[in-house]
Amino acid sequence: MQVPVLVEQISTHVFRAKAWDIVAEGQSAEDAVTALRQLLRGGKYVAILDLPPTNPFLAMAGDLKDDPLFDDWVAAMKTYREEKEADPSY
């Protein structure tokens, strides 16, 4: 597995290696990367989670199916749409 690592010099003799939120420091860039590698091999690892995409409107889906006004509302929308589409200036 390949892990992208950000290595930066913090001060004259301090380097920081960072992969995600895992951080290690050393006196050289190589020392910092080695320390980071040891942290990752010491039981820390990165896992990939597959989450289904969420649509906030799905939580409301079906809320009106048992509402007695729903059929009237749909009929009113249909009538309005037909009136608008029949209008030549539409």
Q: How confident is the model over 48-79, as pLDDT tens digits? A: 777 777 887 877 788 887 888 888 888 999 99
Tokens encoding 48:
């990939």
| pLDDT surpassing 70 at residue 1 | no
- What pTM did the predictor assign? 0.46
Distance (Å, rounded) from C-alpha 6 to C-alpha 10?
12
Residue type (1 letter), 87: D
Distance (Å, rounded) from C-alpha 57 to C-alpha 63?
11
Give the pLDDT confidence of 11-42 residue by residue, as tens digits. Answer: 989 999 988 888 999 999 999 999 988 888 87
> Using alpha carbons only, what angle is made at residue 70 by residues 82 and 63, rounded to the nearest 5 degrees?
130
